[in-house]
Chains A and B, each alone.
Chain A
Amino acid sequence: MSTKTAEFRLAPGIAESTKVQQRFLSTFGQVALPLAKAEDLAVAVVFAGESHWLTFNLTCTCLKASFGRIPCFRPAGASLTCYSMKFPVVLEGSDNGEVVVCGKPGQQAIIQAFHSLIASASYQCSLERNMDSLITELTASWESLSAVYEISAFIQDKQMVEQVPTVLEHIINRATNGGPNLQAVLWLLNPAGDSLEPVAAKTSRILKTRSTGFGLLGKVIGSKQSLLLTSREDIRGCTELEAEFSKAVNLAVVPLRARKRELGAIALWSEDECAFFDTGTLRFLETLAVQSSMLLENNRLYQEILATERLHQEIEIGHTIQKTLLFSAPPANLSGVQVAARTLPSQMIDGDFYDFIVHNETCFDIVVGDVMGKGIPAALVGAATKDHFLRAHHELVNSSAQPAVNGPAAVVAEVHQKVVPQLIQLERFVTIHYGQFDLQHKRFTFVDCGHTQTVHFHYRTGICDLLEGDNLPIGVTHTEQYHQFEVGFEPGDVFFFYSDGITEARNPEGNFFGATRLVKIIRESFQNTTSGLIDEIFKELQAFAQNQVFADDLTCVAVKIGFDDWPSLRVNRVIELSSDLVELARVRAFVAELCAVQGFKEVAEEVEIQLKLALVELVTNLIKHGYQEEPGHQMTLEASRSGTQVVFELFHQGLPFDRAEVREPVFDGSQGHGFGLFIIESCLDEVVYGSLDEGKSFVRLVRNLD
C-alpha cells in the first residue's frame, strides 16, 4: 500500500495553526517526508488536539481506527500489526505538541530515530524564531528573506540525499547574487575535524584545503562568532590572513554550527571598493549559514538512520543464519539417552555450530564446531562446514557396499577433503569435536580437531574426564591424518560439549571461567535433566561474569545416558536381619533407601508406603510364626530394583508357610488380626512362597512400578 500524503495534510475543520506550528510542520516535513515515504510509515503531528498528517498509511490498523483524525496511539508492542511511538515536540508554551509515528513491528529502529529528527526540527524552529526578530530588523532587506524562501523552495524540489552539494552551490550563488562582484566560499570541516575543505564556491581565487585553528576562518570557527570587516586596512591587519581574502575590501565570515558542533564556515567578500557591507549583509549571510547547517545536519541524521538500519539488518541476518543453518534440533526419540543443546547468542555473530546424525536406535553422531572469527562470514563458513558433515556422511553410506556405520575419523577425513582448499583460501579454520555414541556397546568414539575438551562425567565414580584428541583444526594444513579415540561409558554418565565462549567467559577482574568451574557444576548437578544442567551452567556463568551478555556465543550440548531404558540394569541391596521384632525399623529404612536410589523414575509415595507395610508384615509373620519368636536366627533380605520393578527375596530357615491355612480377613472390626497376609497380597503384584534345600525357605515379592 502506498503512502498517501496531500489530502491528509490538514484534517478538515481545523483552526488555523499558529506560525510556529506551521514552521515546525514545514521544517519537520522536509526532513521526515522522504524518510516516511521511503519506509512507508504513517506520521502525524498533533497540536492542541488536532492532527496534521504528513503521511498516512491505511494498512495500519490503529490509523484506520482513528479515521485520519487524532491518531489512536498504542504503546509499543500493544498490537502485533503496528508499532507506534509518540514523541513530544517542544516549541514554546501553547505551541507544544507531539508526533506520532506508526509502522510495522520490524521498523522500531527507524521509528526511534525520529526522536533526533524531531529534535533537529524543533532546534531549527528555535533558530528560525530568532530569525523572526532578525527579519523584523531587516524589513528593508528583502534580500535575505527572499533568499531563505528561495532556498527552502529549492530544497523542497530536490531529493535531499544526493543533492547536498547542489543545494550548497545554490546557497553560494544566492549569496553572491546580492551585489556585483561578490565572491563567496563555503568550507566544511572534514570528518576528523582537522582541516577545512572548500565544497562550494563562487570566486576567482584558487582555493586550498586548510587546517583549522588557523587564520580568519580558524578564528571565526573557534570563537563561534560572525566576523564583519569593512575596510581593506582592517583586513590586511589581520594576522595569518588567508590568501583568498588578500584583496578583499569588505569581508563577512560566518561559522556553520549545528547542535553545538562546528561544521565549517561561509565567507562572503568583495574586492570592489564601491560595495558596502553592513550588519544587514551579515544577517543575510548568517541566514544562509543557518540554512546550510540545517541542510548538512539533516543530511547527517538521515545517513545515520540508514546506517543503523543496515547494522540492524546485518544482526538479523546473522541470527537467522544461526537459528536455521548452524544449529539442528537435538534428537528426541533416542532410547536411553537424553540430549539437550543450547546457545546464548552474543551481540556479534559467531560461527559456532552443532549437528546430530542419527544412524539407528542405538547409534548417533554429534558434531560441535567453532569457526575462527566473527560476523556473517564466520557464520556462513560454519553453516557450510556443518552441511559438509551431513553430506560426507551420506556419501560414505552410499559409496560403501554395506550399510555400515562409519567411524568419526572417516567422516572427518571426508569433510577435510571437501572443505580444506576453500578454508585455506579464505584464511579461516574450524575447530571440531566429532563424536559417535554406540549405545549397544557403550562406547564413545571421537575425533578432536583443536576444539575444547569434552567433559565426560562418570556416574559410578563421580569423576570427570576431559576428552582431548590430537588433531589440528580443519583448514590449517592440507595434509592431516585424523585419529579417533575411544572411551567406554555407563548408564548415568554425562557428556558435555561446548564452545570456547563458555570456558573463556571473563569476570570483571578478567579471570577466565575455565574448565575447572565447569567440571565442578557438572559434578554437582549431574542428577538434573540435560536441559536443567545447561540452565545451571548458564546461571553460574552469568553470576560469574556479572553480566547477561557475553563477548562470544555460548554454545553447548549435553548428553546423558539414562537408566530407565536399560531393562537389564538393576540395583541390588542386601540386608541381614535377626529374628527380633526390633529389626522392623531397619526393614523400613531399607525399603526407603531402595526407593530413593537415584537415576530411576521416582517411586510414588503410595507405593513406598505399601512396600514398607508389606515388608513389615512379612518379617513380622516370619518372626512370630516361622521362628515362634525365638531370637538369634538370621534372615537375609535381598532386594533388586530396575526402572520398572522392585523385587524382594527373603531367605530364612523358619517353619515353612502354608498359604492354604490362612483364613480370609474380616473387615467388620470384630477381629484385630488376620490382616497381615491380606496386606502383603494387596500391596504386591506377585507373592511366591518356596522352599530350598536343607530346611531353607524363601518368599519372593514383586511389585511393578508402572
Chain B
Amino acid sequence: MRAIVFATGYAPALTSLNERHDSVSLPLLDRPFLQHVLENLVDQGVTGFDFTLSRKPEFFESLFGTGTRWGSSFRYHLARDPEFPYRAARAIEVYFKQNPDEPVLVGHGDRLPLLRLAELRAGAGEIVMWYEAATDEAPKWTGWALVPARLLAEFPVQTDETGLEEFLRNQPAAPQLQTVAACLDFRTYEGILKSHWDAVAKVIPNLLVSGREVEPGIWLSRNVSLHPTAQLKAPVYIGENCRIEAGVQLGPQAMIGQNSVLDTHCSVTGSAVLPGSFVGEGLELNEVIVDKNRLVSIRFGVGVTVADDFMLGTLAQNPITSWLQRTLSQLTGLALLLLSWPLLLLTALVLKIVRRGKPVWYVTEVVKLPAAGPELDWKTFKLVSFTPDRRGTGWFSDLFLRLLPGLLNIAKGEAGFVGVQPRTKEELAGLPTDWQALLRQSKPGFITDCMVRYGNHPTPDEQFSSETFYAASATWWQDLRLMAGFVGKLFLPSLPTERENERVSERG
C-alpha cells in the first residue's frame, strides 16, 4: 500500500515557534516528527510514500533520501500553498492509472494516529476515515483516511483540511468511520506536549527512541552528563549531549532535547525543552515548551512567546558593581591610551603608507547600549577604527586595527573592552525581535564572546547563541575570562577555539 502524506508544516496555532520550525520537523524525542510518522507506517506495511512538502523541501529530501533506507520508495511533491496542499493529490493520481481502485492511505504528516492497518477490514473501493474520540465534543478527524486511488483526482483544490473532511464524508458511498485509541498531534502546543508524554508511555507502539530506558520511564541518551544531585522523576527523557547541573529537578514529565544545558537548581515539570536550549539557574519551568530562548506557556491553553532574558540567566546585576566595572574599564582604557598613543600614531602612519590613498580611519555611527525605548530614541556614538569590519578580523589585526583606536571610545566610556559587537541602528533594527531585545540591554565592546568562542567566521546561529548568552549572563569575571581568552589567543595562537575543539573531538 502507498501512503500520501501532506507535510507542509502549516500550523498557525504554533505562532512564533512556527517561524523557526515547520510543525512536521519539530523534534519528538530528538527526531523530526515526520520521521516517526514515516517509520510507524513502514512498520505497518506501507511500501511507498508520496510526500507533499512546502516550506523546507530540501531538508526532508536530504534527510529521507529515496527511501531505500526504509526499504521503501519515496516521491516528493511541492505544494504552492502550505494551507491548501491537496492539489498535489491530482498529480499523484497519475501513478495509479493502471489500478484506479487500489486503496491509498492519505494523511497529514503532523499527526500520528494509532492506525492498526493489519486489523482493518474494508471492502473494495470503500473509504475509511479515522476519528479520535473526544470527551466533551464531537469526534475529531485525525486527518488520515483510506481512499480508492481514483478519488485522488477529485480532491478539492482550494480548500483546507475541513474542506477535505467534508468532501470525503459526502461521497456517495458513505465512508466507514473508525475510532483510534490515540493520536499524536503536532499542530498545537498542547498537542506537542501531550505527544511527548504519550510517546514515552508507549501509547503508539514501536516508536524509535534514541535513548535507552534505564529505569521504567527514565530515558537517557548517549553522552549525557548528569550531576549526582539531580533528581529525576519518571517520565523523563534526556537527549544526547545534555548537561544537567547540580540540584536540577526533572519530572514528572520532562523532555530535554539534545545539546541542552540545564543550569543549577532549575526544575522542569510537565515541559518540553527543545534541542539546543539553555535553562538558567534556579528557573522553574512548568507546562511550557522551550525553544532556544523562546518560552511558550501552555498553562492557560494559549501559547505565549516570552522574549525575555530570564531564560538564559537570572543574574540581575548589582548597580554598584556595574558602575565600578564601567569606571574601572574607562580608567584602564585611558591609562592604556596614554601608554600606547605613540603606537597608535605609528600604526596610523604605517597604514597611511601601505594603503596608498585609501582611507585610514573609518568612523561608524553605532548604537549606544543599553538602549531603551523605540528606535527613534536610540542614541548613537562614533566608533573609531582602522578597518570597516566590526566583527573580528584575526587576532593581531583585532589588536591593532580595532582595539587600539577603540581605546578612544573606551576612555570616553562609550564602549567596554568586552561586550557585544557594536551595531548601527539599521543593523540592530534588522535583527529578530528577541535577539534585539537581549542586545539592547547589553554593552558594546571590542572583544566579543563570539570571537573568543567561535573564531572569526561564526555562523549566524553561533553568533546568536553566544551574543544572547553573553547579554543575559555577563558578569565582571566573565569579562575578565574573555579578556584572558583573547590575550591567550594573541600570544598562544595554537589555542583552539571552541569550534575547533569540537572538530578535534569529532575526529578523535
- What residues make up the interface of A, taking CB atoms closer than 8 Å to B? 332-333, 606, 645, 685, 693, 704, 706
Contact = CB atoms under 8 A, between A and B. Distances in A.
A704 B508 contact: no
Interface in B349-383: 356-357
B457 interface: yes
A333 B459 CA distance: 27
A333 B357 contact: no
B508 A333 contact: yes
A704 B457 contact: yes
Contacts of B459: 706
A199 B58 CA distance: 90
Contacts of B457: 645, 685, 704, 706
Contacts of A333: 507-508
Contacts of A704: 457
Nearest to B494: A361
Nearest to A335: B504
B393 to A, nearest CB: 11
A693 B508 contact: no
Contact of A693 (B58, B357, B507): B357
Nearest to A685: B457
11 contacts: A332-B508, A333-B507, A333-B508, A606-B58, A645-B457, A685-B457, A693-B356, A693-B357, A704-B457, A706-B457, A706-B459
A685 B458 CA distance: 10
Nearest to A332: B508
Nearest to B58: A606
Contacts of A693: 356-357
B390 to A, nearest CB: 13
Contacts of A645: 457
Nearest to A606: B58
Contacts of A685: 457
A646 to B, nearest CB: 12
B454 to A, nearest CB: 10
Nearest to B456: A704
A693 B58 CA distance: 44
Contacts of B357: 693
A319 to B, nearest CB: 29
Given A332-B508, A333-B507, A693-B356, 5 more contacts: A606-B58, A645-B457, A685-B457, A693-B357, A706-B459
A577 B467 CA distance: 42
A704 B459 CA distance: 9
**3 interchain residue pairs of minimum CB distance:** A704-B457, A333-B508, A693-B357
Contacts of B508: 332-333
A596 B354 CA distance: 36
A606 B457 CA distance: 20
A281 to B, nearest CB: 81
A685 B459 CA distance: 9
A645 B356 CA distance: 28
A693 B355 CA distance: 11
A702 to B, nearest CB: 8
B327 to A, nearest CB: 37
Interface string B5-32: 0000000000000000000000000000
B51 to A, nearest CB: 20
Nearest to B388: A688
B468 to A, nearest CB: 21
Nearest to B357: A693
Which of B58, B356, B457: most chain A Cβ within 10 A? B457
A685 B357 CA distance: 28
Contacts of A706: 457, 459
Contacts of A332: 508
Nearest to A692: B358
A333 B503 CA distance: 12
Interface in B325-360: 356-357
B451 to A, nearest CB: 15
Interface in B488-508: 507-508
B258 to A, nearest CB: 20
B102 to A, nearest CB: 36
A685 B507 CA distance: 25
A693 B358 CA distance: 9
A246 B507 CA distance: 91
A671 to B, nearest CB: 18
B67 to A, nearest CB: 20
Nearest to A361: B494
Contacts of A606: 58
A693 B508 CA distance: 49
Contacts of B507: 333
B231 to A, nearest CB: 38
A706 B508 CA distance: 18
Contacts of B58: 606
A641 B149 CA distance: 53
A332 B459 CA distance: 29
B234 to A, nearest CB: 36
A380 B383 CA distance: 73
Interface string B183-217: 00000000000000000000000000000000000
A576 B269 CA distance: 64
B426 to A, nearest CB: 11
Interface in B45-59: 58
B430 to A, nearest CB: 11
B499 to A, nearest CB: 8
A706 B500 CA distance: 11
B466 to A, nearest CB: 16
A16 B255 CA distance: 71
A333 B508 CA distance: 7
Interface string B51-78: 0000000100000000000000000000
Interface in B438-457: 457
A249 to B, nearest CB: 92
Interface string B107-128: 0000000000000000000000
A645 B357 CA distance: 29
B195 to A, nearest CB: 32
A183 B409 CA distance: 126
A98 B114 CA distance: 55
A685 B508 CA distance: 29
